[in-house]
Structure 1
Amino acid sequence: MGHQSEIEKKKYRNWVKGGLAYKYLKQGLDGFSDDVVKQEQSRILGSINCTPGTICNQCIIERLRPIHACRTISAGNYECPWGQRKCNCLHLKKKKCRLKVCDFIMEEILQSHESTPPTPNWTNTDIQKWCTEPWEVAKCFINAPGYSDKTKAAEIDISGLLHVFINNINLHSHLACSMAGNNIFIQVRERRNKLFHSNTMEMEDLEVAKCIDDIVRILEDPKELSGRPEAQEAVRKLKQLKESKFIITTNNEVDVCKEALLFVSQKSDELKQVIEDGKIEVRYVVDTYTTKAKESIEKCQNAAVKEFNEHSTSLYERVKKLETNIPERMEKLKTDISERFGQIESDVSSVKERVTALESKVREVRELDAIRDIYRRHFDYVEGKQGNQVHFQKMLIMIFE
């Protein structure tokens, strides 16, 4: 084998090792995640000001009004004190929970979210199970969609688990490491994204070493994690992974390729949904402000005509009234229209930024789909290799029986 081929093979082995490192991280985090998520749900339920044991399973997320109230910024226009653009508090016809349970839990989720403004992902959750299923609350902290049918840590990929720890500030108390800024959890999550965005399926020696070391740092967190047997076992496997004599099996390849293919497919589908939601939002903003602009202009025009017609009993009085009021009314009309169009220009600028962001997402989807095709072909290859090995082993058994 040539020198260049040997280098490429080593980088591919590193890529597989990187994938295995995240597999071991998940094995070490699953039980811990279930425990802290359950504790967080118990804390929330225990702090609700109602009869202990009260359970609500009737509310619907789209219709639930949160405890916090919106602020009035102008006639018919409101803003969320949390800074959320699509908060339920902006719609006054939403209803509070009749048992005062679900709206309290919603408020707790908002207060517990790390981002400003808070951005819970309500698409992942079933609000009617908030009182009975701990992960229905926890899944609100996973940024990406696609987790609505997951009920425990074992069913959630490592990216989703990392999101929960990063985004829920109450879970930070279970960790000794600092969760401020670009913390170790964020770095590990971003490195996984980079790992599975590689169309060459290669990783440098220093990269894979850093990847493994950071994962070990998480699992050896001294607050609670380091004392858990499953975390200790995962660390043992990770340290073996760093050894030069570690053997990459075909089964290892299949596992990592399958995980990479799943990741890229999910990410592509997620971005496609973001693009569709963005298109709907852009159309809504354009239609809304176009309608408001027309209504504002018509209102000013009608007011000017009404002002002229009222209290005028003769042609002479109407003319005098017209001469007196038209400059003033026209100036007010001009000011009102100018203010309205100033707001529209601001909103149009925001829409343009949104469209630019969507165009970037479209390009990213194309890149991901290309990577997915590469991963699919390679997965078919290693899966076929695995099948051939199993067949060969069976043949050997038959020969020596």
Structure 2
Amino acid sequence: MDNKLHLDTDTCRWLKARFGLIYLKDGLAPFCDDVAKQQQREILNHIKQTKKLLTVTCSECDLGTLKPDHEKTDNKCPFGQKYCNCCKTGCKIACRNKVCGAIYDKIITSHVTKAPNWKNTDVKKWTNDSWSIAKCFIYTGGYEQKSSAADTDCAGLLHVIINNTYFHDRIGCKITGSDVFTKVRTYRNEIVHTSTMKLEKVRLDTYIDGMIAVLHDGKELKGKQYVQDTVKKLEELKNEDFIITSQRRECQIVLADMKTLKKNIDKGLEDINNSIEGLATKDACEKLERQISTLESIVSKLTEEVKRLGTDNSADKEQSNYENLKKDLQKRLIKLYKKDVLRMSAMPLEQESDLNDFEDVYVRPRMTIAKKDKKEDKKEVDVLSMSDIFTNDDESIKSVYVLGEAGSGKSSFL
């Protein structure tokens, strides 16, 4: 029985697109790290000068109680933020070092929509960690533990570039919503969220060309050596002969070895043919012809062996890589649900604050199942386990209806 996973061409193209996202991240990370450090440095220098401070540092403030430097006007945030600290009830404490409130304001004014994602950041790190400021510009959650640009995926890096106006001054492209950075962010979502994990060549080329266009931005990115090296890797992914393995370096080695072998073979055959043309004796010609035949036979066997080894090795490693990707996806989904989904307020009237772990505040309701006996009389049976809900006489139930009064806990249970 053949237990190897043989991937079809369309699936291999999807894997190439995933590699493309990894390459794109490698090309953007150093740039984003440099610009984030520049932004933090300028913010701190501005605060130091305007507030006449000797040092600009703080590790004491908390986001939930931090008082911004700006004040609300007409009971509204002047920046249009719905959940800004200037409007929240409860005691707000101004930064004792006169720093964090000003950074809070600067993050808001640097955001294209004036609505940073505060869940990704830690206020206590703002003055000594530039990436803690940059993460406020990542729209989605799940990045609170990411400590650097190198530790952030390409989606997060693209969010930082697109949503942070400070980055706009470092790229030649104008962010309009239909620009190449925004398109590639959409491409990333299409690649990651496809259910078939297959791609046609024209679609793969579109994705890779978009990634290359991002790195070819003419202001600062294009001229950097690490960006140029990344572009070469992306261009190789468009080659149909590029072999997918679990290690990208092995892909390049296998492809390079096959090209070198072909080059050497062609040169050897050319040299022998030239030698034949220069010989006059019949015996010498026949001898060289036999050598050519032998060489061609050896070359044919070597070529087939290289192809076989490349295919078998690729299939084994692709299977391992595929299984690892599935396990990694499961872990990330569990982590995402625990941190961003399975959180709720203990007080229904305050849904946006003081979120707790679901299991800490959830009270399992008493539930019954409505059944009919042989006489068609309805009766209610208490639910003792999940299997009571989803199975009946050991057979799976396709449709389950949950009924109850308002506020009885239906949504929380689901």
TM-score interval, normalised by the smaller of the two chains: 0.5 to 0.7
Paired positions, count: 277
Checking the alignment, whether the CA contact within 8 Å between 1:197 and 1:264 is kept in structure 2 is: no
Structure 2 residues not aligned, in runs of 5+: 1-5, 249-317, 352-410
* 1:79 maps onto 2:76 in alignment: yes
CA distance 1:102–1:155, change in 2 (3 Å): same
Aligned to 2:349: 284
Per the TM alignment, residue 54 of structure 1 is displaced from its structure 2 partner at its CA by 2.3
Aligned to 1:105: 103
CA distance 1:256–1:225, change in 2 (3 Å): farther
CA distance 1:128–1:229, change in 2 (3 Å): same
* 1:89 maps onto 2:91 in alignment: no
Per the TM alignment, residue 113 of structure 1 is displaced from its structure 2 partner at its CA by 0.8
Q: What amino acid does structure 2 have at the position aligned with 1:103?
A: G
Aligned to 2:241: 245
Checking the alignment, whether the CA contact within 8 Å between 1:34 and 1:153 is kept in structure 2 is: yes
CA distance 1:59–1:160, change in 2 (3 Å): same
Residues of 1 paired with 2:177 and 2:194: CA distance? Answer: 26
Residues of 2 paired with 1:19 and 1:100: CA distance? Answer: 45
Q: Tell me the TM-score normalised to structure 2 length.
A: 0.61
Per the TM alignment, residue 271 of structure 1 is displaced from its structure 2 partner at its CA by 6.0
1:200 alignment partner, one of 186, 196, 202: 196
Instruction: List per-residue Cα deviations over 1:170-194 (Å, max 9, x = no partner).
Output: 1111101121123222221221122
* 1:212 maps onto 2:204 in alignment: no
* 1:190 maps onto 2:186 in alignment: yes
2:69 alignment partner, one of 53, 59, 67: 67
Aligned to 2:145: 149
Aligned to 2:40: 41
Residues of 2 paired with 1:257 and 1:216: CA distance? Answer: 29
CA distance 1:92–1:178, change in 2 (3 Å): same
Checking the alignment, whether the CA contact within 8 Å between 2:142 and 2:339 is kept in structure 1 is: no
CA distance 1:26–1:257, change in 2 (3 Å): farther
Secondary structure (helix, strand or coil) at the match of 1:223 reads: coil
2:136 alignment partner, one of 119, 140, 159: 140
- Overall identity of the aligned pairs, in %: 36
Flag the structure with higher helix content. 1
CA distance 1:282–1:71, change in 2 (3 Å): farther
Aligned to 2:295: none
Say which structure, 1 or 2, has more relative contact order (CA 8 Å, 6+ apart).
1
* 1:10 maps onto 2:13 in alignment: no
Aligned to 2:18: 19
Per the TM alignment, residue 265 of structure 1 is displaced from its structure 2 partner at its CA by 5.3
Checking the alignment, whether the CA contact within 8 Å between 1:175 and 1:221 is kept in structure 2 is: yes
Residues of 2 paired with 1:242 and 1:260: CA distance? Answer: 25
Instruction: List per-residue Cα deviations over 1:334-386 (Å, max 9, x = no partner).
Output: xxxxxxxxxxxxxxxxxxxxxxxxx9xx99xxxxxxxxxxxxxxxxxxxxxxx
Secondary structure (helix, strand or coil) at the match of 2:226 reads: helix
Per the TM alignment, residue 52 of structure 1 is displaced from its structure 2 partner at its CA by 4.3
**Correspondence list, 1:254-273, <5 A:** 258=324, 262=328, 266=332, 269-270=335-336
Per the TM alignment, residue 229 of structure 1 is displaced from its structure 2 partner at its CA by 1.1
Q: What amino acid does structure 2 have at the position aligned with 1:148?
A: E
Structure 1 residues not aligned, in runs of 5+: 1-5, 73-77, 287-358, 364-401
CA distance 1:193–1:242, change in 2 (3 Å): same
Bigger radius of gyration among the two: 2
Instruction: List per-residue Cα deviations over 1:276-312 (Å, max 9, x = no partner).
Output: 55x64992269xxxxxxxxxxxxxxxxxxxxxxxxxx
